[in-house]
Homo-oligomer: A and B are copies of this chain.
Amino acid sequence: MKHNKAQELEVLEWLNTKQDISLEKLKGKIVLIYVFQMLCPACVAHSIPQSKKLFKRFLNEDIVILGLHSVFEHHDVMSPQALKVFVDENDIGFPIAIDLSVEKDFMPATMKKYNMQGTPTLLIIDKESKIRMHAFGLVNDLDIGLLLGKLLEEKKD
């Protein structure tokens, strides 16, 4: 089985981090990217709580949790300013990238180049920067654990 290399995120702005993050720099670590919209009910009910739980669980391990705010509708009310309030109110501690919108009412750049179907989407990237999960919808804890356990065990070439 061949896995594609994860393309770099296209980011307007990073929250919750002093310096910009790139997948290139995270090589050697396992990366989970929670792609969400702040007004997407399934994201708020399921993905955000799960991402916060994983962030807390893996604080001291080589597993990095990131958020990606990919707004493809209602741009006016899911602005960076609104997102900052959302992140603060929901007490989210991990870095969040704002997906770059080239033109209003169009799919943002990262969502487009990854060909995502919508939100929530979960991307899991291995130590070699290869995409090992690209799932639209809800993913349960057991399946996330199974993949992370496997990826942690894999040797870097």
The segment from A12-20, A73-81, A109-117 that touches chain B is: A73-81
How far in angstroms is the closest Cβ of chain B from A42? Answer: 10
Contacts of A145 in B (CB 8 A): 141-149
Contact call A39/B144, Cβ cutoff below 8 A: no
* Count of residues in A whose CB is under 8 Å from the partner chain: 33
How far in angstroms is the closest Cβ of chain B from A69? Answer: 13
In chain A, residues 10-38, which have Cβ atoms closer than 8 Å to a Cβ of chain B?
Answer: none
A140 within 8 A of B: yes
How far in angstroms is the closest Cβ of chain B from A146? Answer: 4
Q: By CB atoms of chain B within 10 A, which of A57, A76, A89, A149 has the most?
A: A149
- Known pairs A57-B142, A146-B148, A150-B152 / 9 extra A-B pairs, C-beta < 8 Å: A39-B85, A41-B89, A76-B82, A77-B77, A145-B146, A145-B148, A146-B149, A149-B149, A153-B154
